[in-house]
Structures are given as structure tokens and as C-alpha cells.
Structure 1
Amino acid sequence: MTDLRNISTTNFRTFLVIITVLLPLVGSILGQQQEEGFCKVNYNTTQQCQLLQHIEGTHLRDYFTEWKENMKEKDLSQYKIPHIGGRKLNSSACLINKCLSSDKFYSEEESGSDDKSRTIYKFYPGNICYEKYEMLSMSVRSYTNATSGIVDFLSKDNILTSAPLVDGCFNGLSKSLWCYEGQCGGNQEEKSEPDFLDSLVVYTEEKIHEDVYVWSFSPLGALYCTLNIVGRAEGEDCVHLYSDIKSGIVGTWRDGLMVHGKPAILKNFTINSDYGLLQPEMEILDGREKYTFYESTNNTITPDKMLSDIYEEMNLFVAPSPMKDAGEGLFTKTQLKKGDLVAAYNGVKITFEEASQSKELRTSRYIVGSWDSHLIDVPKVYRSTANYVASLGHKANSANIGEPHNAVYGDCDHPRFGEITCVMATRDIQPYEEVLAFYGETYWSQPQECNL
């Protein structure tokens, strides 16, 4: 071994220079190899992994969440569209006047500051707005001329819509809020208002502005798209962002349904200064097959059985469960937050009658209820990832009776599969934690079978 005391000062300086240069280079090479190894294990492509790491560092989810909260509270009068071509609108044809031209309503007026007044209208059976538009009440916050301000409509299904008033018609950016957990509140003392942002839509002369990309929101994420005249998504280059606000689908929508789309990753947001709407910048993943919309039948699950979903691919993996006799389980690659989508539970759709008449279906351990109208079953051949990876919700094990679970089943409208069941997070789920969704009391009364 060389004694460092015998190295000359010049040689020692040379030695330090070499070490100083080589150490960062070696560290960089090892770090790159480690990163590439991590990407190969966890993600299909290095491009996908690097994009994910970029998103993790830019906190776009926090930015998006904060923007949504601000839009919920924002005064929409700053986003109104002024008189079209300098002319006044025909207010007699607008919804407010239709509601008030019919009887069966009660009104009361409140005085406000800054020359604003507030009139509240409550509609009853027999009123055109109650019967045709399913509205319970309307609140008009206007200036002294009563033709401009903000109007709020509350529908029978507790959707609260607010829009700017111009000449008695709503004209500009509107927002709708709804109750995430069904009906708001309980008795009158506990009654709460809708607080989940449902959509942001731009109206021109009380008609949907079909050329402006707008937002609609759901527990699965958000859709950025133009709308047709009846308010359904329709357009090219529409973006469906999943609830992680990093994975998504860019494609074509028609009459509210995705026609086809490509998996993509969120890179950034810009903002539309006219209406304050965020615009997502997406990077489509190279060399990936297109997604197409397909709603399963009672004998076909999907044509794209081995085409994994980008959200599940980014956030989940299947591995042996540490639970006794549980077989495989579903685990997270990244942190999922409370309320996030965990996985889609797609399968063949069967009726209650079909399930009761088939012994195989009656004893299936993979049947879940969906949308009060049908059941979803994953046939035995598709329970293994060797034959089916399009959705992974059926790979989630159950927490034992009396033990805590971190996920629950619920109805969802999926861009690829339509109205199905989804597994949703009931609390934050940490990376590499197993997803446990309680199956229900009846499951445990049946003969046991491994989740294979």
C-alpha cells in the first residue's frame, strides 16, 4: 500500500484534481444507471419515467387544485361577454324571463351594498323552470338596472350554476358546483351547499360557446374540451386528465364520449386570459397504441385486453400479497391522495337476472354492483395479468373484517369503458402500499377463493 506521506506535493495536488474530476463523473454515471434501472422496473419507457419525474418536481397538481378552488370563489362578472356587436340582447327569450313568465314561484328581495340587490325566487310544481329545467330556486344578484350581475340556479339534483348577466341573459363564463356524496345535507338545519366544482362553461347570448375549450370535473379527474350545443364534449385534441394530474389521454370526443385517444403526460399549464381557464400542455407518449371507447357487453370485456391504462401503468403494479392465502394484490408506485381514482373495475356487464340463473356467476368472487342497473364480472380467463391488463381494479384484495381498508368501490364514468365501477382511495395511500378495499359482509360468507 502506498504511504501518502511519501507522495510529493505536486503529485498530491495532481491526485486531488483527478479525484475531484472523476468522483462527480462516476456519481453521474451511477445515478443515470440507477435512474434507468428504476425506469425499466417501474415504467414502460424511459421517456415516460423522465416526464413523470419532471411533473413530480413542478407541483402542477397543487397549482391545478389551487386554481380550481380560486375559480369556485371567483366573481364571474369579470369574465362576462359584453353586448354583441353593440346591440342589446333579447332578454324576453332568456331563461330568467321564461321562469318568471310562469306562475308557481315565490320571491323575496334583499338589499345589498354597492348598489347591488339580491332577489331570491323559489319554484314550485307547475312552474316551467321547475318542470322543464328541474330548477328548485334562482338567486339574482344585480345592479340597480336589474339586467346585469350574477344569476345562481339550484337544480333538483343539487347542482348550483352561477353565470354573469348581460341584458338579463347569462353571457360569459359560468361555473357549476355539485354534491360529491349525493344529496347535500340532511334536515334543514344541516343543509349544506354544493361544493364540488362540476364544470366551467362559456356562454354567448345564453348559448354554449362551441369554439372555446372549457373544463368539466369528476372524481376521476378532469376533461378539457369544446362542447356541442347541448353541452356534451365534442372536439379534437381534447384532454382527459386523471386525478393524479399528470397522466391523461389526448384525443377526439363526440357527443360526450371519447372516440379515440393516445396516452400522454402533463408537462405544464398556460392560462387563457379571456376567461381565466387553464390550458394543459401534454406530451403524447411515443410508439403507443390508441385507446378507443368500448363499453363491455355480457360476453365481451374489451377488444384491447392487453392495452394497459396510462393512469394505472403510472401508479400501480401487481405483486404477491403478504396477506395469508390472498394470492396476488394491487400495490401503488406513487402516493395516491384521498378521493383519487385507484383503478378501474371493468368486466363483462350482466343483469341481476343473468347472475341469478347461472351457477358460475352466482359463485363468482369477482362480481361487483354498478350504476344500480347491472353487475360487472371479471371472467376467470381475464383474472390473470397474462391475459388481461386493460384495468386492474379486480386485483385489489379486501381488508379482513374489522381491519382498516384504504379504498372503496363506487360508480364512475371512465373515458375508455363508460359507466363502470372504480376503486377509489378513502385516505392517502403511500408508495408500495397494498390497496385494500373491503368487499362487504356477504363476500366473507361465501367459500373462499384466491384472487388470482
Structure 2
Amino acid sequence: MTEIYEDYEWEYVSGSEEESSDYEYENGLQDFSLLTSRSVSTTSSKASSRFTSESCFCSSDLCVCLDDVNTVFAKPLKINKRSPYNNEPTEIKLSEATKHSTKILRTFLDEMRDKNQSFSTPKIEDCILNGGLNNPKHWIIEELCTKSKPSWIEENNISYIDGSYYEGDMQNGTKHGEGSFWSKNNIRFDGYFVNDCPEGLFYSENEHNSEEWAFFYIKNEKLYGQFKELRGKNVKYGIWNGPFWTILHHGAVLYGQLDSTGKMSGYGVYLYPNLWLAIYGQFQNDRFIQGGEGVLVDIVHDNYGFLKPIIQPLQNQSLVEFEAPSRLSLGKNLQSQDMLENIQVFVNESNVPGAGEGLFAKVDIKQNQIVCFFNGIRQRKCLRSAFQEQEITKFSEYRICLSKDISLDIPDEYISIKKYKATLGHKVCHSFQPNVIFSETHHPRFGEIICLVAQRDLCKGEEIFVNYGYEIQNAPEWYQNLWSLHLKSQFGWSTHDILKYGYSVHSCTAAFESANANIQARNNKLLDEKLVS
């Protein structure tokens, strides 16, 4: 049945108050069942269904519950999950409510990114009632609430033994009034001090990196109320010991609850960069535990007046859990495809002769969007014991550096889609003229992993290429040959040039540009001399 609600068209499931509260989606979430309490009213032969208490998805060992918000749900969206070899675009018809909610969320996230956007702090009484953050090892507490003794005190400034420094109002040789404090790690804190202790609204900024900043409220060496911070590549905004949002690198979003130690625990949501496709479920100590797949259907205000997303499970959702990839394992559900990849990419024979399979765009993909993901076994590049060296297989040609200490790798036995398709990034072929780049990101199923990000707009059907970035001296022969061919065909380098400079400039852009400029100048001079003669 169709009815208009707040200018959006919804399809409702009609029923009565005597109906069972149990409802299972056809071909739904494996052993999960939807438990709802319905309050139904019928007016002018129009039946509507409204959830008035918690909606939960339960397996044998876990229940994931949505908040008890009065929200009208449309007919569940179904996204057909096709074979990685299927190049037909997935037909997805988003409701007007989803489109509207995504628009609201995008505006909110833009304001989050802007550190100049107004920042309001609740009354301290309300903050204290909330409990605040009880974690003395939080970076703000450790940096700002120094226990170091003064080494030098003079009018309006104090130097401390650990290298920290204060400049501002003072009373009896201590910080008192407005001032700025520089921690031993050169993070500047601007705010108000009372009897040597920070109190009230503060702004902090990393003097070495102005892109790292924070607003927060502090009293008695505890953090209360609202905060907003940019650390690393993630923007976080929320309430200590309450709800929060995090914008992850490349546009994905986390929403959830912070516990008293500042960790994400309880019910939470991960929204892919398109801001409508979601993974929802239970988190504990910043780690996703288990949940399902869904779609954003509404944005509402909670008891704090804070925005929160309402997620409706997909009609054909799958159980999603943290895969726990490790040194010896890619994860638990190797055949469970990522939803975003299923919508955006497909596997086919590469256009590169002899390269085998490649990855292609199933739809048009905009510049700077995540195209696909690359999960792998975790291999540490240092601190290996002799015993571990014997256990660990040598890195394959699929190895990618995740950090300075850890690489991701796909063992040979899992290269085939028949054995592994949880992520498809390993199917992308190499090119020295790539259209995507490697970058790091967070994914609830895999934790910290690699993603491939479009360097330009990609067209439907276009093959995806990335520069593998091997160390040329240790690279496979095919890679070395391609590098030589690239220098010769794209820049006109001679065999002599390649032998003399090719290896040394491979990993250094500045060195390559310098050498190439000299070679081009020489080639142009030779061409001019030839024309004159």
C-alpha cells in the first residue's frame, strides 16, 4: 500500500495490533530474525505500520537492536548480489527519504570538516550528569594536564622541565586566566585556567601540522560535553560518553556511542562514502563485532539534539562480522562479497596481453571515490623471530604496504575468485599510467586496509589500473621490462638512458623529472641539429 508521509512516498506493510511481532525477511539475514513491536492505526482505508520500540536482529549469540525511535519504514530495499564476473549494473531504486536523508547528512558532514563552524558547549551541569570521559591516558589529558615541574617562572610565562611552556595570565606563579599552553610535543592549547588547571572550552592545534586540531570542554582533568577534532585523516565530532560521528579517510562515516574511556561500544553504523549504503551492528572497544547490511532511511535528533541515522536492513542482507584477518588468515567469510564492490566493479579478462584477469568499472565512478578494497594477510616486516621466518611464506607479487611495519598480501592459493572474493582489489592490473591509486582506509569487516581511489572520473566498462610501486631492483622481470618500455615509448629514452638512469630514478619523482628534463633537452638539441643539417 502506498501513502504520502511528510512529502515522501513510502510502501507500508499493513497489519493489526494482534499480529505477531516476529517477521522474517524472505532470503534474509541467514539465522537472523526481525523482532518488532508494531502500533497500527487505520484511517480512510489506509493502513500504516510504525515501529514504537526496539527492532532487533538476533542470532544464537548476539542481538543487534535499533534505537526505539518512532520511524516509519518503507518496504525493505533489495540489492541483488551478483557474481564478480557479472558486468550488468545493479538496479537500485532509492526512496526519496533516503535521498533526502543523504542530502541532510552531507551538509552536516561538510560543517563537521570546517573547524571555523560554530562550536557550542552544553551547560557544565548537563555535561557532568553525562559522566564525561574517564580516561587519564587520553591524548588531551596527557598533553594538557602536565605534571612536570616548572624550570623557569617569569611574568606571563612558565617553562617546564619536560619542555612544555605556558604564556598568559598568571596568579601566584601558576596558570590562572586566559592563556596558551604548549605541550612537550608542541601541541598548543588555548583556553582558560583556574589555579593551574584547565577549565572550560579549549582549542588545540599541532604546531607541526595545522591540519590537526580539536575543540573540547574540560574540568577537573576530565573531558565533558561536545568535542570536535581532526587527527590523522579522520574528523570526529560528538559528546564524550555519548553519541559521535567520524568522517573516515575518503568519505566513509562512522556513527556510534563512546563509552567512558572514549572507545566506540554498543550499537553503531558504518556508512560507505555514498552515505546511503550501511553496515550496522555491535561494536566493542572501537572494533566491529557483528551485524548486518542496510540502507539509510532517515536522519533524526536524539535526546541530546544530536543527529543520528536510522538504518533499515536490506531485504536480502547477509550476516556481517569482523573478519579478524591475521598473519595466517585472510578472514572468516572469504566468499562474502563487499556490497560496494558488488555495485561498482566486476572481474573480466584484462586488456593487457598475458595479464590474466583484471578489474573493470561496472558503473561510472567519480574522481576521488573509493573504487574497491584490498584485504590480505598481515605480514610484519620487522621483529620477526627465526621461528616466524620459517613459518611465513615469502611475499607474493600482490604485496602492498599498509604501514611502515605491516604489509598486506594475498597467498597464491587465494588469488582465484573461487577461493577468495571478500575484496577484489588484488584483481587490479599494473600500469605506469594508472587511473587509481593505493590509499589506506578503515572497513568494519577488515579493520585498517588498503583501498583503491579513482584519480579521475572512470567510465562504465573501463579497466582499472594501479601502479604497483615495486622496488625496481627486486621487482619481477615483467615489471622491469614494462618500466623500460614505458620510458622508451612515453618519453623517448634510449636503451643507454634506461641502463644509466632507469633504475635510480624509478622511486624518486624529483630524480626522474630532473633526468627526463636533461634527456628531453638533449633530444631536442639533436633534433634541431638534424633539421639544420
Which TM-score applies when normalising by structure 1?
0.66
Is the 1:222–1:241 Cα contact (8 Å) retained in structure 2?
yes
Q: What residue number does 2:334 align with?
A: 305
Among 357, 364, 384, the residue aligned to 2:416: 384
CA distance in 2 between partners of 1:432 and 1:98 (Å): 56
1:131-280 aligned within 5 A: 136-140=187-191, 150-154=201-205, 159-164=212-217, 171-180=224-233, 198-202=235-239, 208-209=240-241, 212-219=242-249, 221-236=252-267, 238-272=268-302, 274-275=304-305, 277-280=306-309
The answer to whether structure 1 residue 83 and structure 2 residue 115 are counterparts is no
Q: Structure 1 residues 270 and 434 mapped into 2: Cα distance closer, same or farther (>3 Å)?
A: farther
The answer to whether structure 1 residue 120 and structure 2 residue 180 are counterparts is yes
Cα deviation 1:325-361 (Å, max 9, x = unaligned): 3322222334444443322211222344699879973
Is the 2:203–2:216 Cα contact (8 Å) retained in structure 1?
yes
Task: Name the amino acid aligned to 2:237.
Answer: L
Task: Name the amino acid aligned to 2:325.
Answer: S
Among 101, 105, 129, the residue aligned to 1:64: 105
**Local SS of the residue matching 2:429:** coil
CA distance in 1 between partners of 2:118 and 2:360 (Å): 42
Q: Structure 1 residues 408 and 250 mapped into 2: Cα distance closer, same or farther (>3 Å)?
A: same
Cα deviation 1:335-392 (Å, max 9, x = unaligned): 4444433222112223446998799735x32112222223222122221222211111
The alpha-carbon deviation at position 152 of structure 1 amounts to 1.0
After superposing the two structures, state which structure 1 stretch, 428-437 or 260-269, moved more. Answer: 428-437
Cα deviation 1:75-110 (Å, max 9, x = unaligned): 222x423424999x9xxx995984498532444459
CA distance in 1 between partners of 2:417 and 2:104 (Å): 36
**Local SS of the residue matching 1:424:** strand
CA distance in 1 between partners of 2:97 and 2:457 (Å): 17
CA distance in 2 between partners of 1:86 and 1:292 (Å): 35
**Local SS of the residue matching 1:69:** helix
**Local SS of the residue matching 1:76:** coil
Stretches of structure 1 that go unaligned for 5 or more consecutive residues are: 1-37, 111-116, 125-129, 181-196, 203-207
CA distance in 2 between partners of 1:298 and 1:171 (Å): 39
Task: Name the amino acid aligned to 1:321.
Answer: S
Task: Name the amino acid aligned to 1:163.
Answer: F
Q: What residue number does 1:11 align with?
A: none
Among 350, 372, 387, the residue aligned to 2:404: 372
CA distance in 2 between partners of 1:421 and 1:320 (Å): 23
Q: What residue number does 1:7 align with?
A: none
Is the 1:296–1:302 Cα contact (8 Å) retained in structure 2?
yes
**Local SS of the residue matching 2:466:** coil
The alpha-carbon deviation at position 43 of structure 1 amounts to 10
Among 375, 394, 397, the residue aligned to 1:346: 375
The alpha-carbon deviation at position 51 of structure 1 amounts to 5.0
- Give the paired residue count: 358
The alpha-carbon deviation at position 256 of structure 1 amounts to 0.8
Q: What residue number does 1:12 align with?
A: none
CA distance in 1 between partners of 2:127 and 2:279 (Å): 38
Task: Name the amino acid aligned to 1:423.
Answer: L
Which TM-score applies when normalising by structure 2?
0.57
Task: Name the amino acid aligned to 2:399.
Answer: I
Q: Structure 1 residues 43 and 98 mapped into 2: Cα distance closer, same or farther (>3 Å)?
A: same
The alpha-carbon deviation at position 416 of structure 1 amounts to 0.9
Cα deviation 1:234-256 (Å, max 9, x = unaligned): 002x1011122122201110111
Is the 1:248–1:310 Cα contact (8 Å) retained in structure 2?
no
CA distance in 2 between partners of 1:308 and 1:244 (Å): 18
After superposing the two structures, state which structure 1 stretch, 167-176 or 344-353, moved more. Answer: 167-176
Stretches of structure 2 that go unaligned for 5 or more consecutive residues are: 1-78, 151-159, 170-176, 480-533
Cα deviation 1:143-193 (Å, max 9, x = unaligned): xxx99863112358853110246799753211001353xxxxxxxxxxxxx
Cα deviation 1:231-290 (Å, max 9, x = unaligned): 111002x10111221222011101111111211122232344844x43222221234331
**Local SS of the residue matching 1:75:** coil
Q: What residue number does 2:117 align with?
A: 74
Cα deviation 1:282-307 (Å, max 9, x = unaligned): 22123433112122233322221111
Q: What residue number does 1:423 align with?
A: 452
Cα deviation 1:91-133 (Å, max 9, x = unaligned): xx995984498532444459xxxxxx96322233xxxxx5xxx
Task: Name the amino acid aligned to 1:296.
Answer: P
RMSD (Å), alpha carbons: 4.1
Task: Name the amino acid aligned to 2:370.
Answer: L
Q: Structure 1 residues 51 and 172 mapped into 2: Cα distance closer, same or farther (>3 Å)?
A: farther
Is the 2:97–2:298 Cα contact (8 Å) retained in structure 1?
no
Q: What residue number does 1:397 align with?
A: 429
CA distance in 1 between partners of 2:277 and 2:254 (Å): 12
CA distance in 1 between partners of 2:83 and 2:409 (Å): 28
1:12-31 aligned within 5 A: none
Is the 2:144–2:189 Cα contact (8 Å) retained in structure 1?
no
CA distance in 1 between partners of 2:104 and 2:295 (Å): 16
Is the 1:398–1:437 Cα contact (8 Å) retained in structure 2?
yes
Q: Structure 1 residues 316 and 55 mapped into 2: Cα distance closer, same or farther (>3 Å)?
A: farther
CA distance in 1 between partners of 2:405 and 2:350 (Å): 33
1:322-333 aligned within 5 A: 322-333=351-362
The answer to whether structure 1 residue 316 and structure 2 residue 345 are counterparts is yes
Q: What is the percent sequence identity of the aligned residues? A: 21
Task: Name the amino acid aligned to 1:138.
Answer: F
**Local SS of the residue matching 1:70:** helix
Is the 1:83–1:166 Cα contact (8 Å) retained in structure 2?
no
**Local SS of the residue matching 2:182:** strand
